[in-house]
Amino acid sequence: MMQSAAMLVDRRVEVEPPAPGALRRRTDKLALVIPTLCEAENIGGLINQVRKVLDPLGIRYEILVVDDDSPDATAAVVLALAHEDPRIRLLVRKRARGLSGAILYGWQHTDATILGVMDADLQHPPELLPRLIAAVQNGGDLVIGSRYTPGGDLGQWNPIRKFLSAAAVWVTLPIQPSHMRAKDPMSGFFMVRRSCLPQTALQKSGFKLLLEILVLGHFKSVKEVPFAFGLRYRGASKANFKVAWDYGWLLARLYAGKLGLVARS
């Protein structure tokens, strides 16, 4: 079955309800990437929730589950759903790890004009997807599910974790575009127009792809939609020392580029 799987800112914007028919533009297609590593307990329920909120919108979409060769039943759960719905696709990466790399791998395997990502652990509410899509269709080049814009919340994090998160955001301010700073550049829940992605190669390691896109991309509009960060439903967090190390390395590279210490290809 695993063999067949491989085949097979600071610009706060109040998001208005979409204009009639705005979400039915057939020129656009959404590809929502969900990276997984041992998420068999969560992924089936999440996919069903995503379909439930996207189907009434009448848009073209596909759900790409990019799995880092999980030893549990993640692939089997996704394949069972994919047999029922061709809009669900499973991509399995062998001998590869890293959230950013998984997202980029998914984006490389779709022709969609709008590229999105969300976590598999149900901490990102599927109910927010229509508002993110509406914001893109109403002019947003990059739309972020934000925990820091008014109305957003970090949930039940302890004070130390909240402080570290705020500090991680603060150190990004000098390298973000001054006219379009995001309040939550660390979010893993966002959508971007493919045409606005940077032409440079993006870092495949680490968890903070959005920050690199913000700094190197080409945007006329960045919007943030508030949401409350939920609790992980099942499974364990992937955060560890390597995640912090990768973030530090990304910051160093982006600051060096900002200061002109490295050439951008």
Domains detected in the chain:
25-258 (3.90.550.10)
Asked whether residue 5 carries a pLDDT value surpassing 50, the answer given is no
CA distance 32 to 107: 9
Percent of the chain predicted with pLDDT > 90? 55
CA distance 132 to 116: 9
Res 25: pLDDT = 55
Res 257: pLDDT = 79
The candidate with the shortest Cα–Cα distance to 34, out of 84, 81, 95, 1, is 81
Mean pLDDT within 87-93: 97
Res 92: pLDDT = 97
Q: What is the full DSSP assignment across 187-227? A: -S-EEEEGGGS-SSPPP-SSS-HHHHHHHHS--S-EEEEE-
pTM: 0.81
3-state secondary structure of 51: helix
Res 51: pLDDT = 98
- Say if residues 169 and 204 touch (Cβ distance below 8 Å): no
Tell me the pLDDT of the chain averaged across its residues: 83
- For 96-128, the pLDDT digits (tens) are 888 899 999 999 999 999 999 999 988 999 999
- For 221-233, the pLDDT digits (tens) are 999 999 987 655 5
- For 19-69, the pLDDT digits (tens) are 444 444 568 999 999 999 999 999 999 999 999 999 999 999 999 999 999
| Burial class of residue 58 (count of CB atoms within 10 Å of its CB; 0-12, 13-18, 19+) | exposed
Strands lying side by side in the sheet with 88-92: 88-92, 60-67, 29-36, 114-117, 190-193, 142-146, 222-226
Res 96: pLDDT = 86
Q: Tell me which of 242 and 29 has the higher pLDDT.
A: 29
Asked whether residue 159 carries a pLDDT value surpassing 90, the answer given is no
CB neighbour list of residue 9: distance below 8 Å, 6 or more residues apart: 176, 177, 180, 181, 182, 183, 214, 222, 223, 224
- For 171-220, the pLDDT digits (tens) are 888 888 888 889 999 899 999 999 999 987 787 876 779 999 999 999 99
